[in-house]
Chains A and B, each alone.
Chain A
Amino acid sequence: MTPTLVLTLTLVAAGASAALLLVAEMMGRADAGRKLAALLLFAAGGVALTAGWAVAPATVWGAFATGGGRATAAGLVLVLSAASLLAGGGKRSGVVSALMALGAGGAIVSLSSIDLLTMLIGIEIAAVSAYGIVASSGDGRADEAALKYFIQGSVATGFFVLGLAVVVGLAAPDAKISSLLVTAQRLPADALMLAAVGLVGALAFKSGAAPMHSWAPDAYETAPAEGAGFMAGSLKLAMVTTLAVVVSAFGTIVASGAPLGDRLVLLMGGLALLSVIIGSTVALKTRSYARLLGYAGVAQVGYALIALAASNPSGALLFISTYAVATTAAFAAAAAVRKLSPDWDGSVEGLAGLGRKHPVLGAALTLALVSLSGIPPLVGFWGKFQAFGSAIAVSASYYATSRPGFGWWLAVLAAAGVMGSIISLGYYGAIVRAVYAETGEDAPVNEPVQGAKTAIAVSAILAFVLVIAGVLPIFGDLSQIVAGFLLNLS
């Protein structure tokens, strides 16, 4: 397996699936097309996941890199997109599925880029398909949410272009990430900071970090459940990975002596703190299932940003990967509920009695939520262990090097992360409680319809993955597992 092969395979799989899904929709065979496309994405994703550990990071075609963490992230994007595809179905699902496959391709382009221009193209492909997914249900609320998302997204793109312009226009010979080093030596620190704020701000928006998060809950609520799962899982994973690449690129500049690092730590920490606080507190008061997961996702991005503030990009990637699997499972469960009871109003209370009528679905959803709150032995714990662990370690090293101000700042971030996890039990626990609540009337256990069975199976399989991946590090070597999440820059 060569890096070129891995990247070609993943991109071709995503593009071919999108085309296949459109053709199948036109031929009226949307269901068969979806299964075939999911199989294709899953196979390519499996190969890329293996490559995460088996293939050493290397540059491909000058503008991309794969192997290591990038391949792992690409593989997860494809596998989780396949899971979301399978969980979907119903009216207009063919178009939504095609958009998801296309978006997965864009996501892989952006997270594999080592060139800021191709990165921007990937981000925009992913964003455009996300706008389409949000608008797909076609009613007034969907239009409004999609329009809001589109306008805000355009502003974010503008930020990215601004950052790009500063880097390329003022100093660097090209838009390569590695050229940032050249830029750093030619530019005053303030201009460099402007570039960093532009690029980081745009990607923070795409990742759904506060204070640029307000699109996410709206989008997840109005999109079909499987589309929301794709945006909250695969896309967020890709955007946080891209953010990690960009941040660590600026981090390398620090190593070369340019005075940017401290401000970057403050910037990432500030975004993290805001995200954790806003996401956690609003999620506590939210009663709509998808909105709740949206705000919870804001807090989760905050935890990833804590790892970035602690200069641990691979920790951020590992964390957001565990989040993406669990959140895809949670939205697959929502897709199943949609099919089991089409009149579900989307509220948390509306889930009452789910665990009694459909024990497998209830258990899968519970496992996903427990993993999201970071309780061991589920894999979400290891993500938080990496993220908060690196913050505490870096805090200690700041103290050791007599910079107590920064040591204090990292300690605050770790504490905020821990507090956020405690609060998360309040909202995730509310869902679990609703799932196992007694409904009062004894609803007859109706056989799940065909589509619901697939969605239930998808969430159950993902929940199983959460357990296995959580137990594995107990018996295995953690450092070898982390090796598959390392992000290289060249």
Chain B
Amino acid sequence: MIQLDLIVIVPFALAILAGLVGMIRPSAAKWVGLAVPLAQGALLVSLARAGVFAGRTFGGSLSSDTSIWRLTVDGLAAPLLALTVVTGLLAIAASWRVDNRPGAHFALLALLQGAVAGVFAADSLVLFYIAWECVLVPMFLLIAGWGSAGARRASMKFLIFTFAGGAVLLVGVIATVVIAGTDSITAIASMGGVPVYSTLVFWLLAIGFLVKVPAVPLHTWLPDAHTEAPTAGSIVLAGVLLKMGGYGLIRIALPFAPRAFDLAAPILAALGLIGIVWGAATALVQSDLKRLVAYSSVAHMGFVLLAISIATPASLAAAVVTMVSHGLVAGLLFFLVGALYGRAHTRELSAFGGLGSVTPRWAIAFVFASLASAGLPGLSGFPGEFVTSIEAFSSVGWWTLVAGVGIVLAAAYNLRAVRSTVQGPVGGFESLADLDALETASVALMAVAIIAVGVAPWLLTDGATTAVSMVAQLVGRGV
């Protein structure tokens, strides 16, 4: 279907347009920026009408056998594409008032949207890698050019860490193509993965993905990059960039080397559990609100990793739900922290207090987002992590309790954040502007999405069932 090709190509075309418009009329660039997620959303809706969320698979129209431009989308990729659209909208809203070189800013955001869509839609392994690396430079420039004080160091760290991960991935990609004799992700999966050297291939691919997830101890680029990035950058980073790692593991690493995965599963589970506890415990002691949210990402992505290591159909579906949920919730939290920082020019927890009476709309939104992050039933954080914990018992046994500790810690750091900002006596800021209409509308959109995923997670999992069951079957853990 041509819509699938366009979902990747249109953002790149609009990126050029945004850059040109930005040179002529800087204030108009944001409208081009807004057109990117809107266009992607419209294209995704038309794909949805064709049944992509019901588990049907579609290929791109511009594909040919001799080129690497081969796209496919199924129930596993579709929820993540939807997440890309929603967080893309939020990122545009967060940067609506950017006046520092807006043309370049919105062009970079558009590039990110296109590249991420390319990752989720690629069927050629080489195209997947190209799209994967296309994310790198725009995000680097976004952090370096529009970030806060320490952005230069953080952007370099981000660039080198993720490029190093990407380079390992490239070796894995080339090795896979050489050994399997084809670069089609579907074909390699259906032939049961690579015939030889499966352990080597698995770890080359997995290390590339684990850096992006990020798994402790490969996570150290994340807190810096998140903290120093501009709000829109943080939203895209947490919202979709981390999901590329999880998606890569499910879509590529597992099916390509099922036997090696079987041996590696306990290691991945351990990495997941460590991430859950490490991320949550570190979040608990942060004094910077944005760093706190950044570390909570490590914890939530730890759940994703744990779910992937179990690799049953239910746990893989839970991984998808957790990824979408974390994208929505962390995106919203970064949006709110960014809004607060834009007004107060500090993110120190100790500087705030009593915002419930100063900025009631912000306070309500922040409490809502924190509860979602803590995994309150009815909101999006709950179903994925709940199912993961249940499934984990059959796989890692009583070690699941470690994840339980992480859940308790999640409640603790989220409530601590709420307590020191929203509640208590009014701190240093007695009058701050509350969320304006645009911000309130953006928050409302996210809240609707968070509640929808929380109440009806099957909206995502129904379509994904076919794809994840196949992966589970390939690694010998299907029903």
Residues of A participating in the B interface, judged by any CB pair closer than 8 Å: 359, 370, 373, 375-377, 381, 385, 388-389, 392-393, 396, 414-415, 418-419, 421-422, 425-426, 429, 433, 436-437, 473-480
- B160→A422 contact, CB < 8 A: yes
Contacts of B159 in A (CB 8 A): 425, 429
Check if B2 is an interface residue, CB within 8 A of chain A: no
Q: How far is the CA of A393 from the CA of B134 in the complex (A)?
A: 25
Check if B175 is an interface residue, CB within 8 A of chain A: yes
- A396→B66 contact, CB < 8 A: no
Q: How far is the CB of B70 from chain A (nearest CB, A)?
A: 10
- B171→A414 contact, CB < 8 A: yes
- B68→A415 contact, CB < 8 A: no
Looking at the complex, which one of A370, A415, A433 makes contact with B137 (CB distance below 8 Å)?
A370
Contacts of A421 in B (CB 8 A): 163, 167
B240-259 near A? 1/0 per residue, CB < 8 Å: 00000000000000000000
A433 in contact with B133 given A393-B178, A418-B170, A474-B69 (CB within 8 Å): no
Contacts of B160 in A (CB 8 A): 422, 425-426, 429
Contacts of A429 in B (CB 8 A): 140, 156, 159-160
The chain B residue with its CB closest to the CB of A360 is B23
Most chain B beta-carbon contacts within 10 A, residue among A373, A375, A419:
A375
Q: How far is the CA of A476 from the CA of B68 in the complex (A)?
A: 8
Q: A436-B144, A473-B68, A474-B127 are in contact. List 12 more A-B contacts (CB 8 A).
A: A370-B137, A376-B129, A376-B133, A385-B126, A385-B174, A429-B159, A429-B160, A436-B141, A474-B69, A474-B130, A477-B66, A477-B67
- A474→B68 contact, CB < 8 A: yes
- B171→A474 contact, CB < 8 A: no
Q: How far is the CB of B394 from chain A (nearest CB, A)?
A: 38
- A375→B133 contact, CB < 8 A: yes
Q: How far is the CA of A389 from the CA of B134 in the complex (A)?
A: 19
- A392→B136 contact, CB < 8 A: no
Looking at the complex, which one of A381, A396, A419 makes contact with B178 (CB distance below 8 Å)?
A396
Contacts of B126 in A (CB 8 A): 385
The chain A residue with its CB closest to the CB of B62 is A475
Q: How far is the CA of A388 from the CA of B178 in the complex (A)?
A: 12
Looking at the complex, which one of A419, A433, A479 makes contact with B152 (CB distance below 8 Å)?
A433
Contacts of B134 in A (CB 8 A): 376-377
Q: How far is the CA of A475 from the CA of B177 in the complex (A)?
A: 18
- B171→A418 contact, CB < 8 A: yes
Check if B145 is an interface residue, CB within 8 A of chain A: yes
B101-113 near A? 1/0 per residue, CB < 8 Å: 0001000000000
Q: How far is the CA of A396 from the CA of B179 in the complex (A)?
A: 8
- B171→A376 contact, CB < 8 A: no
- A433→B144 contact, CB < 8 A: yes
- B174→A433 contact, CB < 8 A: no
Contacts of B177 in A (CB 8 A): 389
Q: How far is the CB of A281 from chain B (nearest CB, A)?
A: 15
Contacts of A479 in B (CB 8 A): 66
B137-154 near A? 1/0 per residue, CB < 8 Å: 100110011000000100
Contacts of B62 in A (CB 8 A): 475
Contacts of B171 in A (CB 8 A): 388, 392, 414-415, 418
Contacts of A475 in B (CB 8 A): 62, 67, 69
Q: Which 6 A-B pairs have the closest CB atoms?
A: A477-B66, A376-B130, A418-B167, A393-B178, A389-B174, A376-B133
- B156→A433 contact, CB < 8 A: yes
- B130→A381 contact, CB < 8 A: yes
The chain A residue with its CB closest to the CB of B166 is A375
- A375→B127 contact, CB < 8 A: no
Check if B38 is an interface residue, CB within 8 A of chain A: no
Contacts of A370 in B (CB 8 A): 137
Residues of B participating in the A interface, judged by any CB pair closer than 8 Å: 62, 66-69, 104, 126-127, 129-130, 133-134, 136-137, 140-141, 144-145, 152, 156, 159-160, 163-164, 167-168, 170-171, 174-175, 177-179, 197
The chain A residue with its CB closest to the CB of B130 is A376
The chain A residue with its CB closest to the CB of B177 is A389
Q: How far is the CA of A342 from the CA of B67 in the complex (A)?
A: 47
The chain B residue with its CB closest to the CB of A479 is B66
- A375→B168 contact, CB < 8 A: no
- A389→B178 contact, CB < 8 A: yes
- B174→A392 contact, CB < 8 A: yes
- A425→B170 contact, CB < 8 A: no
The chain A residue with its CB closest to the CB of B132 is A376
A381 in contact with B66 given A389-B174, A396-B179, A422-B164 (CB within 8 Å): no
Q: How far is the CA of A418 from the CA of B160 in the complex (A)?
A: 12
Contacts of B140 in A (CB 8 A): 429
- B67→A476 contact, CB < 8 A: yes
Contacts of A433 in B (CB 8 A): 144, 152, 156
- A418→B133 contact, CB < 8 A: no
Contacts of B170 in A (CB 8 A): 385, 388, 418
Most chain A beta-carbon contacts within 10 A, residue among B66, B69, B104, B178:
B178
Q: How far is the CB of B183 from chain A (nearest CB, A)?
A: 10
The chain B residue with its CB closest to the CB of A423 is B160
Q: How far is the CA of A392 from the CA of B178 in the complex (A)?
A: 8
Q: How far is the CA of A437 from the CA of B141 in the complex (A)?
A: 11
- A381→B69 contact, CB < 8 A: no
Q: How far is the CB of B395 from chain A (nearest CB, A)?
A: 34
Q: How far is the CA of A168 from the CA of B171 in the complex (A)?
A: 43
Contacts of A437 in B (CB 8 A): 152
Q: How far is the CA of A237 from the CA of B2 in the complex (A)?
A: 41
Contacts of B129 in A (CB 8 A): 376
Q: How far is the CB of B30 from chain A (nearest CB, A)?
A: 19
Q: How far is the CB of B197 from chain A (nearest CB, A)?
A: 8
- A418→B156 contact, CB < 8 A: no
Contacts of A478 in B (CB 8 A): 67-68
Q: How far is the CB of B228 from chain A (nearest CB, A)?
A: 14
Q: How far is the CA of A415 from the CA of B175 in the complex (A)?
A: 12
Q: How far is the CA of A476 from the CA of B127 in the complex (A)?
A: 12
Contacts of B168 in A (CB 8 A): 418
Contacts of B144 in A (CB 8 A): 433, 436
- B67→A474 contact, CB < 8 A: yes
Contacts of A474 in B (CB 8 A): 67-69, 127, 130
Q: How far is the CA of A375 from the CA of B167 in the complex (A)?
A: 10
Q: How far is the CA of A385 from the CA of B171 in the complex (A)?
A: 9
Contacts of A473 in B (CB 8 A): 68
The chain B residue with its CB closest to the CB of A480 is B66
Q: How far is the CA of A370 from the CA of B140 in the complex (A)?
A: 12
Q: How far is the CB of B22 from chain A (nearest CB, A)?
A: 10
Q: How far is the CA of A480 from the CA of B64 in the complex (A)?
A: 14
Contacts of B130 in A (CB 8 A): 376-377, 381, 474
Q: How far is the CA of A233 from the CA of B175 in the complex (A)?
A: 31
Q: How far is the CB of B328 from chain A (nearest CB, A)?
A: 29
A381 in contact with B67 given A392-B174, A425-B160 (CB within 8 Å): no
Contacts of A480 in B (CB 8 A): 66
- B163→A425 contact, CB < 8 A: yes
Contacts of A381 in B (CB 8 A): 130, 133
Q: How far is the CA of A90 from the CA of B175 in the complex (A)?
A: 50
Q: How far is the CB of B272 from chain A (nearest CB, A)?
A: 26
Contacts of B197 in A (CB 8 A): 396
Q: How far is the CA of A425 from the CA of B133 in the complex (A)?
A: 13
- A375→B136 contact, CB < 8 A: yes
Q: How far is the CB of B281 from chain A (nearest CB, A)?
A: 31
Q: How far is the CB of B419 from chain A (nearest CB, A)?
A: 38
24 A-B residue pairings within 8 Å (CB atoms): A373-B163, A375-B136, A376-B134, A377-B130, A381-B133, A388-B174, A392-B175, A392-B178, A396-B178, A396-B179, A418-B167, A419-B167, A421-B163, A421-B167, A422-B167, A429-B140, A429-B159, A429-B160, A433-B152, A437-B152, A474-B69, A474-B130, A478-B68, A479-B66
Q: How far is the CB of A107 from chain B (nearest CB, A)?
A: 32
- A396→B175 contact, CB < 8 A: yes
Contacts of A476 in B (CB 8 A): 67
